[in-house]
Amino acid sequence: MITFNVVKDKHGWAIRMGDAMSTPFRTRELAIQEAGCLADSIRRHGEWAEVVIEGADPNEPPRRIRGSKIARLDVRYPGRWRGPH
């Protein structure tokens, strides 16, 4: 499974994948949107992909990210897992 981690960076928000990190995004929403697009692209090739958001509220309702075809984000919280749907 490929994991895209949306994390707080000193210059905004970034997407981390393993040891690699994207350039910073101005807002958390932009970083989430881009991570969702990356995960969608990977899924279209038959691979499993997830988006993990640092500091996400487990009670936050799933939502559609603008520009992405995913119906919800696959969010992992410490000690809790929501797998791909």
Q: How many domains does the chain divide into?
A: 1
Question: Within a domain: residue 85?
Answer: no
Question: Within a domain: residue 60?
Answer: yes
**Measured between alpha carbons, how far is 59 from 40 in angstroms, rounded to an integer?**
24
User: Would the pTM count as exceeding 0.85?
Assistant: no
Q: Domain containing 13: what range?
A: 1-35+46-78
**Measured between alpha carbons, how far is 70 from 68 in angstroms, rounded to an integer?**
6
**If you average pLDDT over each of 9-13, 69-73, 74-78, which comes out highest?**
9-13
Q: Is the model more confident about 52 or about 79?
A: 52
The pair of structure tokens assigned to 62 is 């799933």
Q: Which of 28-32, 51-55, 56-60 has the lowest mean pLDDT?
A: 56-60
Question: Within a domain: residue 11?
Answer: yes
Question: Within a domain: residue 40?
Answer: no
Question: Within a domain: residue 84?
Answer: no
